[in-house]
Structure 1
Amino acid sequence: MVRNSNGKCVPLSQCPCVFGGEEYNDGETTMSNCNKCVCKQGTWQCTENECKSTCSIFGDGHTQTFDGKWYHFNGVCKYTVVTDYCGEAEGSFQIVTQSIACCEGGVTCARTVTIMLPEKNIVLEDGKVTVVATNSTAAGAEDDEPLITKGLNIERVGLSTYVGVDGIFSLQWDQSTRFSVTLETGYKGKVCGLCGNNNGDMKDDFTTRQNSVEAGSLIFANTWKTETNCKDTETEIFPCDKNPYCKLEAEKKCSIIKESTFQSCHSKVPPDSYYDACKRDACICGMQNKDSGLCNTIAMYAQACNNAGACIDWRSPTLCPIYCDYYNSPGDYRWHYEPCGTIKSKTCNDQFVGQKFSNVVEGCFAKCPAKAPYLDTNLMKCVSQPQCSCFYKDVVPAGSTVTSDQRDT
């Protein structure tokens, strides 16, 4: 017999396990990243799958690297987020972010994301996705190759746009200021940039473009500028010190992250770093946009919770509301908000549910009727198949034509 956490003597087979501050009885399971763990006589037995790594950038330059290191950097240039062109290595992709002011008198946040691939760039900006050919082959002059090729997936789901390159990465973008990049397992220790080197060790995440390791974020991040004519960022801005009259209100509003609304997530995703980021962002903007940073940071924590298996329904009519009725025609109520939803209709891209996308995300979702059974994710409308739009550099409405290699298609 052994003593459990309640002071009772129990057989060894009944010993609980502890994970994230919570007790699990013998035989119960939980997930640790991508591995399933089973409690066996007080000890966790877990699968040993190699997990994908995710880096996130949001709000006023808040960054969590692939290896889990947190830092803040609010530079105003273009910076390499992640690339496999490291040192003299041959590479296949580069992701760059452009930082600009979020609001008048405010500091910066990431708004524009450019994904650079061989022969094409994908630009995410102001809620739109644009694909741009970078040489004549991609434009179709020689091989008539389409811009959206096999292995490249662009999909709008809920509030997010997903861009994925098979075997390399997937990127989730909220169509505004925050995005996350998830690398496939084959890229362990093979990348560099603001997101670190993805080698499982936080201590060398501040590796510069020159392959030296810095102690602080400023020198490190400045080396990842992509434009030499842009000045280095020399000081870190602390918005609550600059606007001390906002601090108490910021602490009050951001406290939702640490309170009962998110309680089921606290053991899965520690809230402290998100709470600190929320306070910084809530102190930034003036009265007109005072809640934009707050809402984005809380949404980022909710997304992390959702990814960890804890669905949090945190929005309300008075706190960062989402109005899905915008997509409904008069008398039509098929569109509605879900904190953790997925596509429930056939889409114009996939022709049936779930072919490419299985993630559960926040956003506006519709159940399309029989007379318009296809969800056009480009236009956020339920349509018949002949009404489906296409994508070539940008959204092309049904019936329209584009010119490729001097031919109409």
Structure 2
Amino acid sequence: MGGFLAEPRTKTENDKIANLCGKETYWIGITDLNHEDTFTYARDDSTIIYSNWSPSEPSISLGEHCTQMYVDGTWNDQNCNDHMGAICQFDAGCHGDPHLKTFDGRAYTFQGTCWYTLFKDCADKSRFEVTTKFEPREDSSPDQVRTRIVAFKVTVGDEYSIIDGLDITTGRTGGQKTAARVITVKEEDKNIILNFTSKNTTFTLKWTLRKHALSVTYDGSFYHGKLCGLMGNADGVAANDFQKPDGSDAKDADDFGESWKVNEMK
């Protein structure tokens, strides 16, 4: 579904994951498969910045290259072939099929086939908007429509950037040429990183074409509860994320998703 094994990077995150474990032990995304005796995050092989090993762990026993979390939140290195559940996490955004996760952590699936508002400033005079395009996959059929994200557009004021595959188009709707650019775009190893800042809040979008995944993060507090679109309102409460443009609650994920359809790309 586009997720990955959970990567606790602080005590607070570790405690939250432990609360999900209940009375079972689960895999988390810590491993020394690539570097014997040096544990890294399984997703990108970067060095871990937090650990909560059980006493005398990691034992560095032969073949114990993966990490499980005990019910008390401590970690143990374990043979990767052992059978147990896993705690997964998702970056906010669209991933693959498409599976979406709101800013507040509500995960759902929506098979859109058009342009939709991913998120925007919901003030009367919106400062920015991010729209995204879903198209049917090659293995889609009339009986089972399966779609994925193929492009997105970011508009901040009169400036815009369109990412279609790995093609990048930038411009201004008003023709102004001299003002400093608000949107920055760069390509890194077939990934595209886009940043823009509004009201002291910086939004970062990472586009991975190979996985048709668009991850979104932001740094700042001004837009707390002031966003809307497929990624919810960012007020810290996942239960109220399915709000339509008129403010009413959607009956389900399809009703919610279709309410944010954009009839034509702006």
CA contact (8 A) 2:156 2:183 kept: no
Look up the match of 1:361: none
CA contact (8 A) 1:125 1:175 kept: no
CA distance in 2, matches of 1:82, 1:54: 15
Look up the match of 1:174: 208
Look up the match of 1:165: 196
Look up the match of 1:59: 96
CA distance in 1, matches of 2:228, 2:203: 14
Give the deviation of 1:145 after TM superposition. Answer: 3.3
Look up the match of 1:127: 166
Give the deviation of 1:37 after TM superposition. Answer: 9.1
CA deviation vs aligned residue, 1:72-101 (integer Å, no higher than 9, x gap): 111111100000135x3x322100011112
SS in 1 for 2:262: coil
CA distance in 1, matches of 2:120, 2:170: 19
Q: Does 1:101 align with 2:132?
A: no
Look up the match of 2:37: none
Give the deviation of 1:160 after TM superposition. Answer: 1.5
Q: How does 1:124-163 map to 2 (within 5 A)?
A: 124-137=163-176, 140=177, 144-145=178-179, 149=181, 151-163=182-194
Q: How does 1:260-409 map to 2 (within 5 A)?
A: none
* Aligned partner letter, 1:161: I
Structure with bigger strand share is 2
Look up the match of 1:78: 115
SS in 2 for 1:168: strand
Look up the match of 1:217: 253
Aligned length: 184
Give the deviation of 1:161 after TM superposition. Answer: 0.8
Give the deviation of 1:182 after TM superposition. Answer: 0.9
CA distance in 2, matches of 1:37, 1:199: 30
* Aligned partner letter, 2:236: G
Shift in alpha-carbon separation, 1:155–1:190, aligned structure 2, 3 A: same
CA distance in 2, matches of 1:122, 1:74: 24
* Aligned partner letter, 1:97: T
CA distance in 2, matches of 1:158, 1:183: 22
CA distance in 2, matches of 1:145, 1:185: 24
CA distance in 2, matches of 1:54, 1:174: 13
CA contact (8 A) 2:140 2:147 kept: no
Q: What is the root-mean-square deviation in Å for CA atoms of aligned residues? A: 3.3
Shift in alpha-carbon separation, 1:38–1:126, aligned structure 2, 3 A: closer
TM-score (norm: length of structure 2):
0.60
Shift in alpha-carbon separation, 1:54–1:191, aligned structure 2, 3 A: farther
CA contact (8 A) 1:54 1:181 kept: yes
CA distance in 2, matches of 1:75, 1:36: 39
Runs of 4+ in 1 over 3 A off after TM superposition: 17-22, 35-39
SS in 2 for 1:99: strand
Give the deviation of 1:55 after TM superposition. Answer: 1.8
CA deviation vs aligned residue, 1:6-49 (integer Å, no higher than 9, x gap): xxxxxxxxxxx894658xxxxxxxxxxxx97989xxx99xxxxx
SS in 2 for 1:221: helix
* Aligned partner letter, 1:224: W
Shift in alpha-carbon separation, 1:93–1:54, aligned structure 2, 3 A: farther
Structure with bigger helix share is 1
SS in 2 for 1:220: helix
CA contact (8 A) 2:166 2:190 kept: no
CA distance in 2, matches of 1:199, 1:159: 33
Greater relative contact order, per chain length (Cα 8 Å cut-off, separation 6+): 2
CA deviation vs aligned residue, 1:243-283 (integer Å, no higher than 9, x gap): xxxxxxxxxxxxxxxxxxxxxxxxxxxxxxxxxxxxxxxxx
TM-score (norm: length of structure 1):
0.40
Q: Which runs of 5+ in 1 are unaligned?
A: 1-16, 23-34, 45-52, 229-409
Shift in alpha-carbon separation, 1:223–1:100, aligned structure 2, 3 A: same
Give the deviation of 1:159 after TM superposition. Answer: 3.5
Shift in alpha-carbon separation, 1:188–1:38, aligned structure 2, 3 A: farther
